[in-house]
Amino acid sequence: MMTSHTMQRPWVARAGVVVLLLFFWEVAARGWLDPMFVSPPSRVVASLPTLFDTRGLPAALRVTFWELAVAFALSVAIGLAIGLAVGLQPFARKSFMPIILLLYGTPQVTILPLFVLYFGIGPASKIAFGVSHGFFPIVMTVVAGVQNIKPILLTSARSMGARRGQILRYVIFPHMIPSFFAGMRLAMTGVLLGVLLAELYVSTAGIGHFTTLFTQNFDPTRLLGLISVLAAMAIALNEIVRRAELHFSRWHSE
C-alpha cells in the first residue's frame, strides 16, 4: 500500500510533523491568540515582500551577512595561525593549550559590553565578538589534527628523504584537513552565535536594529518574518560548511 510504504520513510514523517505543527500554529493564531503577540504562518509568509520593502532592511541583512563572512574568514585565519604555531611545537602546546582551554570555557557573553566599549556600536564589534567565538574550535581541531598523526607516517616520509618543509606540506597538512573542516563547522556555529548576539545587543545598521523596532512596535508578523529569514541564512551557511567538510574528508575512513 502506498501510504504505509511512504510512511516508512522517516523523512516523510518528519515533514509531516513539521506540517502538523505549522497547521496548529496557523489555527491557534487565527482562532484565539492575540494578534498583537502572535501571527499565523500564512500571514508571515504573505508579508515577506513587505518585510523586504521596509526601509533599510535589505541593507541590514547585507551588513549582517557581511559581518558573518568577515568574522568567519578572520576566525579561520587567526585560528589556523595560532593552531599551527601551538600544535607544531610540543613545548608551546603544553604551555599554552591550558590557557586557551581556560579562555574557551569562560562565558564570553559577559564581556559583550566590553567589546562594544572597545569596538564601537558599528560592525566592528559584531565581527570581533564573532571572531572571539569562532577561532577557538579552529585552534582546537588544528592542534588535534597535527597531534594525532600516526608516527609511522612521519617515519616513512623521513626514510624517503623528506625535508621538514616537505613533511609539513605533504604529510602534516593533508592529515590535518578533516579536523580542520570539522573545526570550521563548529566555527561557523560560533560565529553565528557571536555576531547575532552582538547584533541583538546594540545595532544601528544591522538587523538588531529591526528586531528591536518590530518588538517595540508589536509587529509579530514582520518580526517572525525576519527571524525566519535569519534562521534560513544560518541553516544555509551551516549546510555549506558541512558539505565542504564531507567533500574534503572523502578519504577519511577512520
Residues lying near another protein in the complex (CB under 8 A) are found at 10, 13-14, 17-18, 37-38, 91, 94-96, 98-99, 105-107, 109-114, 116-118, 150, 152-153, 155-162, 166, 170-171, 174-175, 177, 189, 192-193, 196-197, 200-201, 211-212, 214-215, 218, 220, 223-224, 227, 230-231, 234-235, 238, 250-253
Residue closer to another protein, measured from CB, 2 or 236? 236
Compare residues 3 and 253 and give the one whose CB is closer to another protein.
253
* Residue partners of 178: CB distance under 8 A and separation at least 6: 145, 245, 248, 249, 252
Residue 230 Cβ vs another protein, minimum distance, rounded to whole Å: 6
Of 80 and 219, nearer to another protein (C-beta) is 219
Residues near 52 by beta carbon (within 8 Å), at least 6 away in sequence: 58
Smaller CB separation from another protein, 144 or 162:
162
Which cell numbers hold the place of 107? 562565558
Name the CA radius of gyration of the chain, rounded. Answer: 23
Coil/strand/helix, residue 249: coil
| CB 80, min distance to another protein, A | 18
Instruction: Let me know: does 30 contact 40? Beta carbons within 8 Å.
Output: yes
CA dihedral 134, 108, 142, 148 (to 10 degrees): -140
Q: Shortest gap between Cβ of 40 and another protein (angstroms)?
A: 14
Question: Residue 65 Cβ, how far from another protein at the closest point, in Å?
Answer: 14
The separation between CA 137 and the C-alpha centre of its own chain, rounded to angstroms, equals: 11
Of the candidates 53, 72, 195, which has an alpha carbon nearest to the alpha carbon of residue 137?
72
What are the Cα distances from residue 254, in Å, to 34, 41, 231, 250? 54, 44, 33, 11
Residue 221: partners with Cβ closer than 8 Å, 6 or more residues away: 39, 43, 44, 47
DSSP class of 108: G
Least gap, CB of 235 to another protein (angstroms) = 6
Minimum CB distance to another protein, residue 50 (Å): 18
In degrees, rounded to 5, the angle at the alpha carbon of residue 74 between the alpha carbons of residues 236 and 233 is 15
The residue (of 8 and 49) whose beta carbon lies closer to another protein is: 8
Cell numbers standing for residue 81: 595561525
Q: Among residues 62 and 158, whose Cβ is nearest to another protein?
A: 158
Q: What's the min distance (Å) between Cβ of 76 and another protein?
A: 19
Using the minimum distance from each CB to another protein, give the nearer residue, 94 or 243: 94
User: What are the grid coordinates assigned to 19, written together?
Assistant: 506540517
